[in-house]
Amino acid sequence: MSGLQRSVEAFKAAGEPTRLRLLALLSAGELTVKDLTDILGQSQPRISRHLKLLADAGLVERHSEGAWAYFRLADRGQAAEIARLAVGAAGGQDQQLLADHGALVALRNAQKARANAYFSQVAESWDALRRIHVSEETVEAAILAIVGRRTFGLLLDFGTGTGRMLELLSGRYERGIGIDSSRDMLAVARSRINEAGLTKAQVRLGDVTSPDLDGESADLITIHQVLHYFDDPRTVLYGAAGALSSEGEIIVVDFAPHDLEFLRTEQAHRRLGLSEEQMAGWARAVGLEVADCKVLPPSAQAGERALTVCVWTLEKRNSESEDRHGL
């Protein structure tokens, strides 16, 4: 199909009242078919047909999470520009679109309440952990210092949790994708990025050891307090190495070695910290190398059970580094 014909099909797909309402809603972030049926008050088959037409025309994107499917406005290509043009042309004062927006706000408030209820169940254990290591503000300042003023096309956040890295680095990427294996945590993350208005960020249910990116590669990957949950952290680094662009980099945040067994028994940590030597070995095994490691010791007030946090920067190995290691 020619570029002209694709544009005609995109304009035709957008040129229908219900589909234009769908585009306006999806411009505010990703939603499920059920979300959209609740807001528009139309049947699931009818909404699904409209979404299929929009997806076939390239105006929206779809990704699945088991039996669920999430839709969002396309953010690349000629059809994405048409989608944004159509939403903009509809204006912000149309009464039907204003009513839809009000229903969306009510829906997200309900989703936020459910996410907060779940997070309150795990917040106590998170707070206990935060009290025994350097402050999150210090860790985040170290991450921002590494990133600097650079901007990245695609950011991947492995084990996104609450989506904090997508929020922290929102001014440093064009598109952001958070991946997590917990549906409950994804609900928290979605609520957070929706509240922050981060329409360029999305989260997906997935396996960080084998992320499915449809052939894309990331310019920056963050792995924040994730590796200690794996018996073999190398499997996560292998997934990251495969998803990384040739000039990209990976920021890993985790604990230095410690002996706090209660973290294994009470919080499901599989490894009691990661050493610099281990990180270097795992990185080499998957075609990466450690470019830098910042060590962040705990404050004096943390006491004997204090944890040190390390922030590693990993890059793809080049021929010179391979020569140095005799490969």
Contacts of 63 (CB under 8 A, 6+ apart): 69, 70, 204
Q: Give the pLDDT band (50/70/90) at residue 139.
A: very high
Residue 87 has pLDDT above 70, yes or no: yes
User: What are the tens digits of pLDDT across the range 10-23?
Assistant: 888 888 899 999 99
Residue 302 has pLDDT above 60, yes or no: no
What is the side-by-side strand order in the sheet with 60-65? 31-32, 68-73, 60-65
Q: Give the pLDDT band (50/70/90) at residue 76.
A: confident
pLDDT at residue number 11: 84
Q: Give the pLDDT band (50/70/90) at residue 90.
A: confident
Contacts of 186 (CB under 8 A, 6+ apart): 65, 160, 178, 180, 203, 204, 205
Q: Average pLDDT of the chain?
A: 86
pLDDT at residue number 263: 84
Compute the average pLDDT of residues 274-281: 94
Q: Give the pLDDT band (50/70/90) at residue 321.
A: very low
Q: Give the pLDDT band (50/70/90) at residue 322.
A: very low
pLDDT at residue number 309: 94
The distance from CA 46 to its chain's CA centroid, rounded to whole angstroms, is 30
pLDDT at residue number 130: 67
> Which of 134, 327, 168, 326 is CA-nearest to residue 251?
168
- Cβ–Cβ < 8 Å for 60, 72: yes
Q: Give the pLDDT band (50/70/90) at residue 324.
A: very low
Of residues 326 and 185, more confidence is placed in 185
pLDDT at residue number 70: 84
Residue 268 has pLDDT above 90, yes or no: no
Report whether CATH 3.40.50.150 matches the domain 131-324: yes
Amino acid identity at 215: G
Compute the average pLDDT of residues 38-67: 88
User: What are the tens digits of pLDDT across the range 209-220?
Assistant: 989 888 889 999
Residue 1 has pLDDT above 60, yes or no: no
Specify the pTM: 0.76
Percent of the chain with pLDDT over 90: 51
Report whether CATH 1.10.10.10 matches the domain 3-104: yes
**Domain residue limits, the chain:** 3-104, 131-324
Of residues 54 and 111, more confidence is placed in 54
Compute the average pLDDT of residues 147-157: 96
**Which has the minimum average pLDDT: 172-176, 199-203, 228-232?**
228-232
Q: Give the pLDDT band (50/70/90) at residue 315.
A: very high
Q: Give the pLDDT band (50/70/90) at residue 323.
A: very low
Residue 156 has pLDDT above 90, yes or no: yes
Cα separation, 32 vs 317, in Å, equals 40
